[in-house]
Amino acid sequence: MNSIIYAGKHLITFSTKHHSHSEWELVYCTSGQGQFEFGDKVIKYGVGDLVIIPPLIPHSNVSDEGFTNIHLHIADATFRFKEPFMISDDSEGHILNAFRDSFYFFNSEIEGKQLVLEAQGSLIVSYVTAFRHVKPVRGIVDEIKNNIMQNFSDCSYKLDKYLHSIPFSYDYLRKLFKSEMGMTPHDYLTGLRLQMAEKLLCSTENLDQNISEIAFVCGYSDSLYFSRVFKRYYGCSPKNYVAQKRKER
């Protein structure tokens, strides 16, 4: 299942003729832009977009400026849809990395590479499933979100300093992030820290000795300040929260 049976690349190309495949075709645009045409349906794409095409659906690919891509054929893919659609990669390029690895292994002489290609196929199918219903956000918002995710556990992380380093108005970034994510960057940072703290608190046995340590690994150098923020977020102190959860269990 989900086995990659072909991996190829288009160098600079302006069109592909009308055709279809007996397997699922997944096409990741690495440069340029264009559109896939499926009879009455058109899907426009650009760099970082992935178009997923079910078996036996005729299509063509055209571009005025030209495109390059990596395209895979996957046999017996475990998708649960019947129409072609498009998703966008995240700012970290997780899907692109998987496509590059798949292209490398398919065209290598590595013994037993089929096991890797099956694993890569399942990974890519999982990415598509996970990303399909993710609301697309503007590039700068995605960059801010990922910077926060990478640094939220660091006590020395200064979100304001990072935001001021971006060549946009601080207030503009704050409003743009809130309009896309439903919360400010600082609220997003606090949520990540406290959700991690909640998981660690509920997994510790020696609570009295570990609150300050948990606060530190979640990005708070001051355990008293951490406790105040935690209480505002969850409605009770860390100790009382854990006692309540243990009583419920």
Give the residue range(s) of CATH 1.10.10.60 domains in the chain.
Answer: 137-249
Give the residue range(s) of CATH 2.60.120.280 domains in the chain.
Answer: 3-131
CA distance 29 to 50: 6
- The beta-carbon contacts of 144-148 under 8 Å, at least 24 apart in sequence, are 144/173, 144/177, 144/185, 145/177, 145/181, 145/188, 146/90, 146/91, 146/92, 148/185, 148/188, 148/189, 148/192
Burial call 60-84: b when 16+ CB within 10 Å, e when fewer: ebebeeebbbbbbbbbebebeeeeb
Structure confidence at residue 67 (pLDDT): 96
Q: What angle do CA 209, 212, 214 make, to 5 degrees?
A: 95
pLDDT along the chain (249 residues), means of 10: 94 94 96 94 94 96 96 93 90 91 95 93 94 70 91 94 91 89 94 92 69 90 93 90 79
Q: Does domain 3-131 have CATH number 2.60.120.280?
A: yes
CA distance 48 to 31: 8
CATH class of 137-249: mainly alpha
pTM of the model: 0.61
Tokens (6 digits) for 183: 């919360």
Structure confidence at residue 131 (pLDDT): 85
* Coil, helix or strand at residue 54: coil
Structure confidence at residue 142 (pLDDT): 85
Structure confidence at residue 104 (pLDDT): 96
CA distance 18 to 8: 18
Measured CA distances, 175 to 29, 168, 237 (Å): 31, 12, 31
